[in-house]
Amino acid sequence: MATAAAATLALPAQARTIDEIRKDGKIVVATEGQFAPFNFFQGAKLTGFEVEVAEAVVAKMGLKIEWKALSFDALLTGLRQDRWDMVIASHGITDERAKAVTFTEPHYCSGGVIVAKDAAIKTAKDLAGKVVSVQTGTTYLENVKKVSAVKEVKNFPQDTDARAALVSGRVDAWVTDRFVAANSLKANPDAGMKLGDFLFIERIASAVAKGNTGLATEVNKALAAIQADGSYATISKKWFGEDIRCK
């Protein structure tokens, strides 16, 4: 009996199907809101490239959107608990994550880059003996860990704190998304940060509850439609001056 009860409790809540979402008229989408220029707050307003992409996708689906902003590490877990229908927060598609959630098609391609103040720290090799900051739970952490000669990896709940650690000189390098890095360098020209090489590349996608393929299929159709009708390109050029879709 005890085992059966425990097994029932461990079952994920039933994710809402696309039909249930359609009946409701509204999809609940979660993001972090601390990862400019992808998802961030301008005052009280949630904005950014992937906020606008999600809004265009959801509009194509004929639905309204309700945003939730949470810490990065809560996002994929909440899908399993049926607290929201979809997550869009610059998640790279990994085998590990794909065991827990269902990814849609990627909405952009990017990669993790090395940022340092010392121009001599540019490549993975240069990280030997160095202290590196990354956001907790990210592919940056995973990939820095693979660089065996790194002295120490410091984890921060937010990527902005990982950046602050570099700026204040508590770490030698910061690994983050290439577009986030470029944006940060532009926004903080006097901080002395320099852009190094790619450590790895990745495909970035939204996620839905594991097995919610009905919803994923509709999202994929809508994403393909905004990529075909020019609206994706307009949003991308507005934020980056280029089209960052996967080629």
Tokens representing residue 174 in the block: 């910061």
By CB under 6 A, residue 135 contacts ligand ARG:
yes
The span of 51-59, 86-94, 124-132, 164-172 binding ligand ARG (CB under 6 A) equals 86-94
By CB under 6 A, residue 52 contacts ligand ARG:
no
Q: Quick one: 32 or 85, whose CB is closer to ligand ARG? A: 32
Q: Which helix (H) or strand (E) holds 66?
A: strand 64-69
At 16, give phi and psi (nearest 5°).
Answer: -70, 135
By CB under 6 A, residue 92 contacts ligand ARG:
yes
Interface pick for ligand ARG out of 89, 181, 193, 222 (rule CB under 6 A): 89
Q: Quick one: 160 or 231, whose CB is closer to ligand ARG? A: 160
239: Cα separation from own chain's centroid = 16
Interface pick for ligand ARG out of 102, 138, 184, 227 (rule CB under 6 A): 138
The length of the chain in residues reads 247
Number of residues counted as binding ligand ARG (CB under 6 A): 13
Sequence letter at residue 236: S
Closest CA to 104 of 224, 247, 202: 224
Q: In the chain, which ranges are continuous DSSP H helix?
A: 2-10, 18-24, 49-60, 75-80, 95-98, 139-145, 159-167, 178-187, 213-228, 231-240
Interface pick for ligand ARG out of 21, 27, 29, 32 (rule CB under 6 A): 32
Q: Quick one: 91 or 154, whose CB is closer to ligand ARG? A: 91
Do 223 and 118 form a contact (C-beta atoms < 8 A)? no
By CB under 6 A, residue 39 contacts ligand ARG:
yes
* β pairing state of 86-92 and 64-69: unpaired
By CB under 6 A, residue 133 contacts ligand ARG:
no
Interface pick for ligand ARG out of 52, 85, 177, 218 (rule CB under 6 A): 177
- Closest approach of ligand ARG to the CB of residue 34, in Å: 6
Do 55 and 234 form a contact (C-beta atoms < 8 A)? no
Do 179 and 39 form a contact (C-beta atoms < 8 A)? no
By CB under 6 A, residue 40 contacts ligand ARG:
no
The span of 18-26, 85-93, 146-154, 189-197 binding ligand ARG (CB under 6 A) equals 85-93
By CB under 6 A, residue 54 contacts ligand ARG:
no
Do 173 and 79 form a contact (C-beta atoms < 8 A)? no
Q: List, edge to edge, every strand of the sheet that includes 45-47.
A: 34-35, 39-42, 45-47
Report the interface residues with ligand ARG, using CB under 6 A.
32, 35, 39, 72, 89-92, 135, 138-139, 159, 177
